[in-house]
Structure 1
Amino acid sequence: MQGLNIAQAWLLSPAAWSQFALLLLAFLLARFITKRLRPKLRVWLTPPEGAARIFDKARVFLRQFLPLTMPLLAFAFTALGEQATRTIFDSGAVIALGKGLFLFLAVRALVRDILADGFLKLLGKFVLLPMAALYAIGLLGPVMARLEAVIVPLGNLSFSLLDLIRFVVIGGVIFWLGRWSNDQSATLIERQAEMRPATRQLAVKTAEIAIFGAAFLVFMNIMGIPLTSLAVLTGAIGVGLGFGLQKIASNFISGVILLLEGQATVGDFVELDGGEAGTIIKMTARAVILETYDGRWIVVPNEDFIITRVVNYSDSGSANRYEAAFSVSYNTDINTVPAIVEAAVATHADVLDAPYPPDCELRGFGDSGIDFAVEFWVNGIDDGANKYTSDVLFLIWNALKAHDIEIPFPQRVVEIKGGLPDAGSRD
């Protein structure tokens, strides 16, 4: 009956009809301006292809808000109309309802068409949209007052249901901003090619700790929670670190030491005493992740890199030595072999002249041939994508064949005592 009386009063009131007219005018004017303005804004907010300046990225960011143009313009025009009707008729309930409706349409377009992040879309669907709907029908204030009156007891603490909702929403938004800022800072740091990989990793971890630490302090300040109230909690955490979290603390400190020293960093091929070997693809606060050449990932605690012996095959500025063994026939003039093989191996693009050029050495006199080995240096690991030893063996084969040098194979002489039996004999 109350709603029916309000509707009847609106239909019979000149002030209400004028407000309806202003609502329609605001809608048509916003639609007309949007139709003319949006194409020009889209062209201006679209940067040239391949542009990557900060200003161009800002234009792209603003372009995604173009769907809000019409409802926001209608909301602004309606707000002006509300001021006029309240001044002239001392009434504005109808136009206030329309203003709230336009705001609800703007929030709905924001949640449906613009927000892409899962957390923000969830927040918009279950917080922003209900708040906009309540604002549109004029119930936002009473609902918030009711939530404020509902007290939730928690031991010696008590808080209202509105404070709980505010706690969840503000905390989620602040830590989402922290995560986004951390991703942006990590991307920026990783682009600094002049920095050593270990320094980049340390900078990323430092920025992450600083950003989330600042987010926590801002959150506590906004919610009005004094840091002194966390004294008991921090004391419990200290006890936990001393007992149950001892290994985690040890691995965290070991990770910081690894990043500071830079003895092992992302991209290095390492081998530990325990037999773990692979390329470092990621260094976290707790462990180092190795990837083997057969595609397996090995998670090694940071502490193992501090307390055990680690062989780093990819240390900056160092090369690795390998050797390829081969044999030649006893009919060969072995004095000519070293020069032929060294010249052939030196033609490989990845074989280095420093610290030492290819060196062919006589190793021994075997059963079937004379044993040689050629030592060579390369920048890299002879596994995975690299086939240094295989390439060198191909070069040795072709060089020896080109000089008519025979590569022997095992031969055996079998002597049958008493000669072969007669063909007609059975025994």
Structure 2
Amino acid sequence: MEFDLKSQPEIVQQVAGYALQGWDLLQGWLLSPAAWSQFGLLIAAFVLAVLAVRRLRPAITRFLTPPDDQTGIIAATRRFLLGFVPLLLPVLAYVFTAIGESVVVALFDSGAVIAFGKRVFLFLAARILVREVIRDPFLKVLGKYVLLPVAALHAVGLLDEVIGGLSAMNVQLGNISLSLMALVRGLIAGSLLFWLGRWSNDQSAALISQQEELRPATRQLAVKAAEIAIFGLAFILLMNIMGISLTSLAVLGGAIGVGLGFGLQKIAANFISGVILLLEGQATVGDFVALDGGESGKIVKMTARAAIPETFDGRWIVVPNEDFITTRVVNYSDSGSANRYEAEFSVSYDTDINLVPDIVERAVASHAGVLEKPYPPDCELRGFGDSGINFAVEFWVNGLDDGPNKYTSDVLFLIWNALKNNNIEIPFPQRVVELKGEVRTKSV
């Protein structure tokens, strides 16, 4: 079968050439007794694999399925392996085919059909892996658009030719020359490495966060150090996979560094400021801070660029790390530490003020959240006002007087009730109006 394709584009001629080679190969297989025996072996291996899976799959599933209440590492491993049970059919078919391959090669000195069948079983395994086993969305997309095409090319025997063609095409990036295959390999490997880096970073961050014996600032610093180490290692591995020497990046990196240095100086300043904050422990996750602009909230997250306090009304404020170094920030220390507050009140001028401190201090001390240490409640005389005598009671509590806690409000209720029970009047503003001169009335 010959066609005159000299006038057609080169790509058409190549496709036609591959098609003719495939047709000749198929004709050879159809007319060869050795090929028919190999086809029979493939069918027998597949049928045998189906029968074996019907018996083995229920038993393997029961063995790998842990009780619902088990959460240890062994149970997690069993659940992980359970997800690979769908691969049992193509794997067994591949194994049975490989066992019979040695017999066929010994009899007919040929195993081309067997080799093709094994590659087809590998493609089926890749297809099941992508469709039924992989759950992560990113890995599923990567498997669909990378693994399956590669497995299909390998199945039809074109993978080596495609790799050779891509390797022959070079791309110049400055003083670095890369083949197109190196770029493709780098793209695939980079995607896998940085996905693995993200997963490893999440796992290490969760593990470090569970170490409650460490200070919050130390835990955050350890999380950041682990993140830098993981992604730095991923970058070095990616350069090695692509065949790029790190020394060859010096010239290109220097040029880019000069160009971006001025534009990224704020980001660099915020990054360094974040490291300083974590090292010195000036502010960390869990601290309640009041910013120079008047906002206040509890730090719920610290990133490489900024800290994020959450206000009591649920708003997140993104504050650059540099602001914690260059501006005035009030830190009310870690959540749960002792803080002092005060509640102001007034009593009438008719009151024996010598009785007030003892009454109020006992009332405030009865609150479950008020501490005796570092200091018990202390009622102080603050001054003589226009309408009454001004007092204030100072008290210490664990935590902050806002959000879930309403310490000052509770204390004011206690003061009100204590004063009422002791017949002490809480005054309201009063004014004495004196009329001078003759008052004239208008007759109607």
Q: Deviations over 1:25-67 (max 9, x none)?
A: 2112212222222222222222333433333322222221111
Greater CA deviation, 241-250 or 120-129? 241-250
User: In 1, distance between residues paired with 2:424 and 2:173?
Assistant: 90
2:309 paired residue number: 290
1:69 paired residue number: 88
The amino acid that maps onto 1:53 is G
Note if 1:340 corresponds to 2:359: yes
Note if 1:55 corresponds to 2:74: yes
3-state DSSP of counterpart to 1:273: coil
User: Is the alpha carbon distance of 1:313 and 1:159 closer, same or farther for their aligned partners in structure 2, counting shifts above 3 Å?
Assistant: closer
The alpha-carbon deviation at position 5 of structure 1 amounts to: 5.3
Whether the 8 Å contact between 1:148 and 1:163 is mirrored in structure 2 is yes
User: In 1, distance between residues paired with 2:388 and 2:293?
Assistant: 39
Whether the 8 Å contact between 1:327 and 1:407 is mirrored in structure 2 is yes
Q: 1:102 aligns with which of 105, 121, 125?
A: 121
Note if 1:173 corresponds to 2:195: no
1:183 paired residue number: 202
3-state DSSP of counterpart to 1:314: strand
Note if 1:200 corresponds to 2:219: yes
The alpha-carbon deviation at position 179 of structure 1 amounts to: 1.7
User: In 1, distance between residues paired with 2:167 and 2:340?
Assistant: 74
Whether the 8 Å contact between 2:289 and 2:331 is mirrored in structure 1 is yes
The alpha-carbon deviation at position 104 of structure 1 amounts to: 1.1
Greater CA deviation, 127-136 or 44-53? 44-53
Q: 2:265 aligns with which of 246, 251, 255?
A: 246
Whether the 8 Å contact between 1:107 and 1:129 is mirrored in structure 2 is yes
TM-score, with structure 2 as normaliser = 0.87
3-state DSSP of counterpart to 1:313: strand
The amino acid that maps onto 1:32 is L
User: In 2, distance between residues paired with 1:73 and 1:421?
Assistant: 117
2:152 paired residue number: 133
Note if 1:409 corresponds to 2:428: yes
3-state DSSP of counterpart to 2:205: helix
The alpha-carbon deviation at position 156 of structure 1 amounts to: 5.2
Greater CA deviation, 326-335 or 152-161? 152-161
Q: 1:360 aligns with which of 354, 369, 379?
A: 379
Note if 1:258 corresponds to 2:277: yes
User: Is the alpha carbon distance of 1:149 and 1:243 closer, same or farther for their aligned partners in structure 2, counting shifts above 3 Å?
Assistant: closer
2:104 paired residue number: 85
Q: Deviations over 1:157-201 (max 9, x none)?
A: 543322221121122222222222111111111111111100000
1:392 paired residue number: 411
User: Is the alpha carbon distance of 1:235 and 1:161 closer, same or farther for their aligned partners in structure 2, counting shifts above 3 Å?
Assistant: closer
Whether the 8 Å contact between 1:150 and 1:160 is mirrored in structure 2 is yes
Note if 1:381 corresponds to 2:390: no
The amino acid that maps onto 2:298 is T
User: In 2, distance between residues paired with 1:4 and 1:286?
Assistant: 61
Whether the 8 Å contact between 2:182 and 2:243 is mirrored in structure 1 is no
Note if 1:323 corresponds to 2:334: no
Whether the 8 Å contact between 1:263 and 1:315 is mirrored in structure 2 is no
Greater CA deviation, 322-331 or 258-267? 322-331
2:16 paired residue number: none
Q: Where does the alignment leave 5 or more consecutive residues of structure 2 unmatched?
A: 2-19
> How many corresponding residue pairs?
424
3-state DSSP of counterpart to 1:105: helix
The alpha-carbon deviation at position 154 of structure 1 amounts to: 4.5
User: In 2, distance between residues paired with 1:342 and 1:89?
Assistant: 104
User: In 2, distance between residues paired with 1:194 and 1:40?
Assistant: 45
2:64 paired residue number: 45
Whether the 8 Å contact between 2:351 and 2:424 is mirrored in structure 1 is yes
Q: 2:39 aligns with which of 13, 17, 20?
A: 20
1:215 paired residue number: 234
Q: Deviations over 1:287-331 (max 9, x none)?
A: 222222222222222222223332211258852211111222333
Q: Deviations over 1:342-384 (max 9, x none)?
A: 1111111111111211111222333333322111111222122
User: Is the alpha carbon distance of 1:351 and 1:41 closer, same or farther for their aligned partners in structure 2, counting shifts above 3 Å?
Assistant: same
User: In 1, distance between residues paired with 2:374 and 2:251?
Assistant: 61
Q: Deviations over 1:406-426 (max 9, x none)?
A: 32223445567878969xx53
The alpha-carbon deviation at position 130 of structure 1 amounts to: 0.8
Greater CA deviation, 46-55 or 169-178? 46-55
Q: Deviations over 1:66-120 (max 9, x none)?
A: 1111111112212222332222112223333322222111101111122222332
User: In 2, distance between residues paired with 1:79 and 1:100?
Assistant: 11
Note if 1:303 corresponds to 2:322: yes
User: In 2, distance between residues paired with 1:43 and 1:240?
Assistant: 61
The alpha-carbon deviation at position 388 of structure 1 amounts to: 0.9
1:372 paired residue number: 391
The amino acid that maps onto 2:245 is P
RMSD: 2.5
The amino acid that maps onto 2:394 is E
1:269 paired residue number: 288
Whether the 8 Å contact between 1:357 and 1:377 is mirrored in structure 2 is yes
User: In 1, distance between residues paired with 2:34 and 2:148?
Assistant: 30
The alpha-carbon deviation at position 244 of structure 1 amounts to: 3.4
The amino acid that maps onto 2:353 is I
